[in-house]
Structure 1
Amino acid sequence: MAETHGDGWATMLEATAPEAGMAEGQPSPGTLLPLALVQLQPGADPATNRRAAEAWLERALQPPAGTPNPKLLMLPEIWNAPYAAARFADYAEPVPEPGSLLLDGPSASLAMVARLAMRHGVSVIAGSIPERGSDGRLYNTATVIDPDGRLLAKHRKVHLFDVDVPGGIRFRESDSLTGGNRLTVLDGAGDPLATGLAQPPNLGLLICYDIRFPELALLMQQQLGAALIACPAAFNTTTGPRHWHLLMRARAVDTQCFLLACSSARPEDGEGYPSYGHSLVVDPWGTVVAEAGSGEQVLHAQLDLEQVALARRAIPTSQQRRHDLYQLSQV
């Protein structure tokens, strides 16, 4: 349903219900959230990666003619460094706690994003970067930054990517990284993302391998009220063709949320980590409403957030769960 263009961007004007009878009339302007996902491929030099990411974010703020400027931007997993477990320590940066101003550090990568956010008055789901924690450990950490350059939320990847697929890929994040230990949902009260919506969404954060564990997404929706889930990711050419679309659509249906899956791009020369690409926007009905290709590009979409309530009224799974038989709980 997305139109992909040769100059490196794709767009989907409205993410609405896929079947006749599901939607109730045309979307209201007060429920629409324009956004853009940036699919890029980092290299070996940190400064070059920051400049490239900034250029792609600037490009994302110039949508196709006749479409609104994005209010929310998103970067992929590990956008400031090569995706290689043995090299995460070389690129790790401190990430302060939510509430901190990022304009002048301590993370050079997040400072760049914060300055861009402030310059354009836009919020950014700043993908993830390798974090060196105050405890000396390394984490794969996603962040959300507001238009004032302030850190709104911070999520450390909970489930580490340790896999060995025969004839495919072997990768062990746990050789260098430590897993996070908490769920991350940004409360929409007060409109911290500056969406301008009457009912701003609660935003949940996952990172790549986290998406394979439905309990995490379900807890975000059932107990923390998520309506939008963002998943910066780097599936590869072994797991991507098998599971990328399947898992993103499944979690959207499970939670009846919009799902934003921003991937890194596939290297043109075939060297380095073989990222699958195909960044996605999935609606609460499980329909892919916008999709990128495998290379570097921007994916624009405009979400009709009223679809979250419509889906939950039409198929009220949250009200039909058998809590007398089973339940999810946080530790």
Structure 2
Amino acid sequence: MQVSLLQCQSSTDVKANLAFIDSQLSLLPRKANEPQLVVLPECSLLFGGHEQQQLAVAAVEESSKLKQQLAALAQRHHVYMVAGTIPISADAARVYSRSYLFDDEGNTLGSYDKLHLFDVEVADKTQSYRESDTFCPGDRITVIDTPFGKIGLAICYDIRFADLFRALRLAGAEIIALPSAFTKVTGAAHWQTLIQARAIETQCYFLAADQWGQHNQGSRETWGQSMIVDPWGRVIAEKKTGLGWVQAQLDVTALATIRQQIPVVAHNRFIAPQLK
């Protein structure tokens, strides 16, 4: 069972970003007739400018051209796809940061809206991030049954909130996909540590696809290091810098063995987390 993460350097040019993803899917290393799960990073079709630009390309789900274009890529290249994130209209002033999971015919299997919004101060050129000015937080968790296993969805800043990932595990997640655009500063400090910790805690495979490099003449800079981490916390594949694919085979038998040997769900004496 092969999974592939695409590390991108997305810009504010939607057409160019879409063309890059299309070209990379054409070059995707794969065996004939082998099912393929692809994960794109956060904001893979529009990134690096002012967050208000998300409003200009947002639409309701039924008429979203961005959603239609990504679904068409999944169908054309015959891949299951966690399609990064795109803006979906929430109200007149804000959008959801939504991740879709498409099957290899372009059908929507499920979606997730980013729960935790990145309103923080960072010692970089941007300095102050205020996602809540543009984005509306989600109100649900998502676990989707697929031929690869039960896939839980989370996005970028969510990785800092362990309760979400415990809730995903309790909802049946075996694999967790994490489209991200981690800043270079916070990525250098915490990216790998957080992903490995969440993988160990949940005993899930983590598929963390990240943006990398300087975006739009250096106005934003992201960390990269897209990685696949197993339920024991081992990094089984990663791409620290540059653009392109990170690939690995997932072993569901190993996942079951780890959960049997260390049954943390049964041993946990705290009540299950609930979304407030």
Per the normalisation by structure 1, the TM-score is: 0.77
Whether 2:75 is the aligned partner of 1:109: answer: no
Alignment of 1:235-274 (within 5 A): 235-267=182-214, 271-274=218-221
Q: Give the ranges of 4+ consecutive aligned residues of structure 1 lying more than 4 Å apart after TM superposition.
A: 66-70
Alignment of 1:18-33 (within 5 A): 33=1
Aligned partner of 1:299: which letter?
A: V
Give, in whole Å, the separation in 2 of the partners of 1:44 and 1:183. Answer: 29
Give, in whole Å, the separation in 1 of the partners of 2:230 and 2:210. Answer: 17
Aligned residues: 274
Alignment of 1:263-302 (within 5 A): 263-267=210-214, 271-302=218-249
Given candidates 157, 168, 178, the residue that maps to 1:220 is 168
Whether 2:263 is the aligned partner of 1:306: answer: no
- Superposed CA offset, 1:149-204 (max 9, x none): 11111111000001113567321101111111111111x2xxxx4x3xxxx41110
Give, in whole Å, the separation in 1 of the partners of 2:23 and 2:106. Answer: 18
Aligned partner of 1:204: which letter?
A: G
What is the Cα deviation at residue 128 of structure 1? 0.6
Given candidates 43, 66, 78, the residue that maps to 2:11 is 43
**Residues 132, 269 of structure 1: CA spacing in aligned structure 2 closer, same or farther, 3 A cutoff?**
closer
Aligned partner of 1:142: which letter?
A: S
Whether 2:108 is the aligned partner of 1:151: answer: yes
User: Mean Cα displacement is larger for which, 160-169 or 234-243?
Assistant: 160-169
**Residues 69, 40 of structure 1: CA spacing in aligned structure 2 closer, same or farther, 3 A cutoff?**
farther
Query: Conserved in 2, the CA contact under 8 Å of 1:258 and 1:282?
Result: yes
**Residues 201, 108 of structure 1: CA spacing in aligned structure 2 closer, same or farther, 3 A cutoff?**
same
Match of 1:72 in 2: 37
Does the residue aligned with 1:267 lie in a helix, a strand or coil? strand
Match of 1:15 in 2: none
Does the residue aligned with 2:241 lie in a helix, a strand or coil? coil
**Residues 121, 174 of structure 1: CA spacing in aligned structure 2 closer, same or farther, 3 A cutoff?**
same
Give, in whole Å, the separation in 2 of the partners of 1:257 and 1:212. Answer: 16
Query: Conserved in 2, the CA contact under 8 Å of 1:54 and 1:112?
Result: no
User: Mean Cα displacement is larger for which, 290-299 or 235-244?
Assistant: 290-299
Per the normalisation by structure 2, the TM-score is: 0.91
Query: Conserved in 1, the CA contact under 8 Å of 2:214 and 2:221?
Result: yes
Larger relative contact order, structure 1 or 2 (CA cutoff 8 Å, min sep 6):
1
Does the residue aligned with 1:144 lie in a helix, a strand or coil? strand
Does the residue aligned with 2:195 lie in a helix, a strand or coil? helix
Whether 2:116 is the aligned partner of 1:204: answer: no
Query: Conserved in 2, the CA contact under 8 Å of 1:285 and 1:311?
Result: yes
What is the Cα deviation at residue 268 of structure 1? 7.4
Match of 1:58 in 2: 26
Aligned partner of 1:305: which letter?
A: V
Give, in whole Å, the separation in 2 of the partners of 1:43 and 1:328. Answer: 37
User: Mean Cα displacement is larger for which, 280-289 or 134-143?
Assistant: 134-143
Aligned partner of 2:188: which letter?
A: P
Give, in whole Å, the separation in 2 of the partners of 1:251 and 1:303. Answer: 17
What is the Cα deviation at residue 267 of structure 1? 2.4
User: Mean Cα displacement is larger for which, 177-186 or 48-57?
Assistant: 48-57
**Where do 5+ consecutive residues of structure 1 fail to align?**
1-32, 97-105
Query: Conserved in 1, the CA contact under 8 Å of 2:2 and 2:35?
Result: yes
- Superposed CA offset, 1:281-315 (max 9, x none): 00000111111122211111111121221111111
Query: Conserved in 2, the CA contact under 8 Å of 1:37 and 1:75?
Result: yes
**Where do 5+ consecutive residues of structure 2 fail to align?**
none
Give, in whole Å, the separation in 2 of the partners of 1:116 and 1:165. Answer: 35
Give, in whole Å, the separation in 2 of the partners of 1:214 and 1:54. Answer: 34
Match of 2:53 in 1: 87
Give, in whole Å, the separation in 1 of the partners of 2:141 and 2:15. Answer: 31
Identity percentage of aligned residues? 34
Given candidates 130, 134, 151, the residue that maps to 1:172 is 130
Give, in whole Å, the separation in 1 of the partners of 2:42 and 2:151. Answer: 17
Greater fraction of residues in helix: 2
Given candidates 155, 162, 166, the residue that maps to 2:119 is 162
